[in-house]
Amino acid sequence: MTASATRVIAQPKMKKPGLSWPIILIGSILVVVVCLFPFVWMGLSSIKTLKELYSVPPIWWPAIPTFDNYYKVLFESNIPRYFLNSVVISVGSTGLALILAIFASYGFARFDFKGKPYLQAFILVGQLLPTAAIIVPLFITLRVLGLVNTYWGLILVYMIVTLPLSVWMLTSYFRAVPVEVEEAAILDGASRLGVLFRITLPLSLPGLVAVIVYAFVTTWNEFIFALCFATDSSVKTLPIGLAEFSTEFNTDWGAVMAASVVMTVPIALLFLVFQKMFVGGLTAGATKG
């Protein structure tokens, strides 16, 4: 970084700060192995035959990589349907959360109104609520509304999980857009909504991406609400499908590992592509308070 560069130039005689390189090297290798080994093992297990999986001692590299497990997962199970359900629910819930969060954050960032601090606190309380404590009443509410086992049921419920933090992150992004820019546009005759959509949103694109990635990843991975509110295979999501594979007494580990790969790849790709913006959005909220 430039900061450390100037530090070294400004005080050339001082010893170079930081860890020595062997420690950095060992630490880095350790972190990489700890973080990635389970995925390597997952990938290797998914291309082994049953015999190779159940061998003692375990075989590192399969003699002939097989794609039977993937065939089983993709063509002989409900996983493709669950994949579709997951996509519909995650996209729907992320989209809805984004729209609500955009308006709410803009309201919080740009206006002053009665009870604003309390309303902001109320939104954060959503993040503090123990999930287990509201599953039962939520289930009953959804049943009354006829939303159990529907896409809309899960899409709505996921608002509780994603909306609070989305509002929180976006508010800090909107605050960072200079008010003067908006005022100039209003003087030129633009409406409030026009300002929001033509000026503020384009200027906070990194924040929007961070919120989208956060909401999508969270809903894609969510397990408990899906387990309770989606009991029919027409709405079950991928995490439930994976759990189904592994709860039976004779767990087909090859298929489980293949399904895990199928489930992880989209999320890993999404994350790696937008990694910088995502982390920026998260930590912006953390350091600004």
Partner 1 sequence: MKSQTGLLFVLPALIVLFMLIAYPVAYTGLLSVTDGNGHLVGFKNFAAVLKPRVTTQAFINTIYWVFGSIVFQVVLGTLTAILLNQSFFGRGALRAITLIPWVVPGIVAATTWAWMFHTEFGIVNYMMTGSGVLQSPIGWLTNKDTVMPVLIAINVWKLFPFVAIMVLAGLQSIPNDLYEAARVDGASFWEEVWYVMLPSVRPVITAVTLLLVIWGLNSITIIYAITRGGPANKTLITPIQIFRLAFESFQFNQAAALSVIFFGVAIVVVFIYIKVLSAQPGEAK
Residues 33-62 that bind partner 1 (CB under 8 A): 34-36, 38-39, 41-42, 45, 53-58
Taking CB under 8 A as the rule, does residue 32 contact partner 1? yes
Question: What backbone phi and psi angles, to 5 degrees, belong to 22?
Answer: -60, -40
157-160: long-range contacts at Cβ-Cβ below 8 A with a sequence spacing of 24 or more? 157/225, 157/229, 158/89, 158/93, 158/97, 158/218, 158/219, 158/222, 158/225, 159/93, 159/96, 159/97, 159/100, 160/126, 160/129, 160/134
- Amino acid sitting at position 11: Q
Closer to partner 1 by Cβ: residue 127 or 234: 127
Extract the tokens encoding 239: 């995490």
For the CB of residue 76, give the shortest distance to partner 1 in the complex, in Å. Answer: 19
Taking CB under 8 A as the rule, does residue 157 contact partner 1? yes
Segment 64-93, which members bind partner 1 (CB under 8 A)? none
For the CB of residue 184, give the shortest distance to partner 1 in the complex, in Å. Answer: 18
For the CB of residue 205, give the shortest distance to partner 1 in the complex, in Å. Answer: 20
Segment 114-133, which members bind partner 1 (CB under 8 A)? 114, 116, 119, 122-123, 125-133
Quote helix, strand, coil % in the chain, to nearest 5.
75, 0, 25
For the CB of residue 203, give the shortest distance to partner 1 in the complex, in Å. Answer: 17
Q: What is the DSSP string of 100-156?
A: HHHHHHHHHHH---TTHHHHHHHHHHHHHS-HHHHHHHHHHHHHHHT-TTSHHHHHH
Closer to partner 1 by Cβ: residue 129 or 205: 129
For the CB of residue 128, give the shortest distance to partner 1 in the complex, in Å. Answer: 6
For the CB of residue 259, give the shortest distance to partner 1 in the complex, in Å. Answer: 9
Residue of 113, 188, 189, 248 that binds partner 1 (CB under 8 A)? 113
Question: What backbone phi and psi angles, to 5 degrees, belong to 2?
Answer: -65, -30
Taking CB under 8 A as the rule, does residue 194 contact partner 1? no
Taking CB under 8 A as the rule, does residue 9 contact partner 1? no
